[in-house]
Structure 1
């Protein structure tokens, strides 16, 4: 398994991966077929724009993207030290250390880019993700009540954060 920075030339493979992920889990924000990216040029532009204020790292083997982690920062000076992260791992590659390796590489980027806090949200019923985040030093900072409406009911989300000490 290799962890590397996603490039715009890999946008098609990444979009295919994201669409697969949308079908495999209810824990990501997009429902299947809800993603509006329709062509390669649009996806390349999304990747390039994202990389200007953050990073997208992918875990891959020879033929597949196994998972990703992204971190994005604001241009506003007062909060530029914070990066918001999103992570997703394909179902058949979970529990194989992919998340751990993605976080290890992300932490290298964090130190190189003067990020001093990471933030994320996670559905309270996503116990596997909660465990991964807590193993990597994230703490629950609050709760967003009725944040997600899915399958006819509301789900709360935790705000989680990690202070980075250099």
Structure 2
């Protein structure tokens, strides 16, 4: 799917094995650009080989979706919906998204979310869940705009560089 925002043209597509090297690099970069995600730069590092295994595994599972956003074939963002292999949880997926800081404000995260929602509805998923840092107001407003509701709060869940503890907001969207 092609998008244009503020004269920036980007494509959203399913991740392919050729993306593994770039994904490893940009995940590491994104982790160093924001505290909105779970990791600090270098923590829980995924090598290109790790991404290769992940992409191949996701391609085989009906309740997984791995998307990338690319500008001139350079990946600038990615999102992932991960479902469970357990029957009692087969109706839902967990959603996560990451965008390089230089590309914030181009609706890339919004469009990755929109494409993921469309996929979830077409594959008979009943619930999409996510977790977001309480101080990430832009993300929370975006999720609410797309129909996500707060389900819970993990109190004092993350310790950030300012030495303060922050809550994690659990949100979900339900499909009929």
Q: Normalized against structure 2, the TM-score is what?
A: 0.87
1:58 pairs, out of 68, 77, 83, with 68
Name the counterpart of 1:34: 43
2:52 pairs, out of 44, 57, 73, with 44
Is the 8 Å Cα contact of residues 73 and 83 (structure 1) preserved in structure 2? yes
Q: Normalized against structure 1, the TM-score is what?
A: 0.92
Alignment of 1:83-102 (within 5 A): 83-102=93-112
1:136 pairs, out of 146, 151, 155, with 146
Residue 111 of structure 1: how far off its partner (Å): 2.0
Residue 41 of structure 1: how far off its partner (Å): 2.4
For 2:57 and 2:165, how far apart are their aligned partners in 1? 32
Name the counterpart of 1:9: 18
Unaligned runs of 5+ residues in structure 1 are none
Unaligned runs of 5+ residues in structure 2 are 1-9
Name the counterpart of 1:76: 86
For 1:80 and 1:107, how far apart are their aligned partners in 2? 16
| CA RMSD of superposed structures (Å) | 1.4
Paired residues in the alignment total 164
